[in-house]
Amino acid sequence: MAQPVILVTGSTDGIGKATAAELLSRGGAAVIIHGKSEKEVRVAQRELAKRSGGERPDTVTADFSDMDQIRWMAEDLLTRYSSLNVLINNAGTYQKTRQFSEQGIELTFAVNYLAPFLLTGLLLPLLRKGAPARIVTVASSAHEDVDRIDWNDLPAWYHYRAWDAYALSKFADITFTYMLARKIAGTGVTVNCLHPGVTNTHILKTAFPGVSGISPEEGAQTSVYLALSPHVTPISGRYFDGKKAVPSSKLTRNRTVQERLWKLAEELTNVPANPKGKSGL
């Protein structure tokens, strides 16, 4: 029987790297790590192999600020693998000033929301072949700070505020989880999201210098739990905190808001709805 295959995006540092390390240490799965550059992933690959006693992860590269690179990465994975059992959408960013992706979209929204939306859509064929399969997306309790959405300000964020942009991107990850769970129900692929806890990562240091959180290893625990635990097998469309399914904010559960953010992502990524099981959501 073939080993299950697990992809962890944004796994050259922080929570993603700790997640990959934990998955490798447990054995029994082929782990793929992702980073922005070949240099980054090779350094992480060597370190993770050393930490795991020789278990060497595979690698993929793509700068998530560029949708073309995400598409190339997905095509690479579709060529190299016959199935995918777990996709952990972990990669993220926090921008103190307004920046733009290669496609001219505000960078936080592009990397934290549109990138996992696009990648998940492109990899759904592999996930369906790997069913029962799981999609795990790292969101944040920051979403609770979103009490309204200025639709006229998206996706450009003309009135940019760093924390608000970050919070909304994580809010969107949660609505994506709820919408996707309904769309792929019955396919053998489940999707859940999580708050990892306030964790000592580059994002925390950038957003709140001087604030201390839990270690990346602790922050990775819910991601690993959702990726591997048999208790989660039948669960889809839920938000987790501390390995427990909890309610996200009321606004994230508003279906009109969910559908509007989904439609916006479809338009910006050109990922069409596709019930036939091919690439698309």
265-269 own/partner pairs: CB under 8 Å, 24+ apart: 265/113, 265/114, 265/117, 265/118, 265/172, 265/176, 268/103, 268/105, 268/114, 268/155, 269/67, 269/114, 269/117, 269/118, 269/121
Provide the 10 A C-beta neighbour count for residue 198: 16
Q: Which class for 65: exposed (0-12), middle (13-18), buried (19 or more C-beta within 10 A)?
A: buried
Both tokens of 186, joined, read 């019955």
- Identity of the amino acid at 130: G
- Identity of the amino acid at 177: T
Q: Point out which residues pair with 60 in neighbouring strands.
A: 34
Tell me, yes or no, if 166 is annotated catalytic: yes
Catalytic residue among 81, 94, 113, 166: 166
Q: Point out which residues pair with 35 in neighbouring strands.
A: 61
Both tokens of 175, joined, read 């609505």
Compute and round to an integer the Cα radius of gyration of the chain: 17
For residues 83 and 90, is the Cβ–Cβ distance under 8 A? Answer: no
DSSP string over 49-72? HHHTTS-PPEEEE--TT-HHHHHH
Catalytic residues: 166
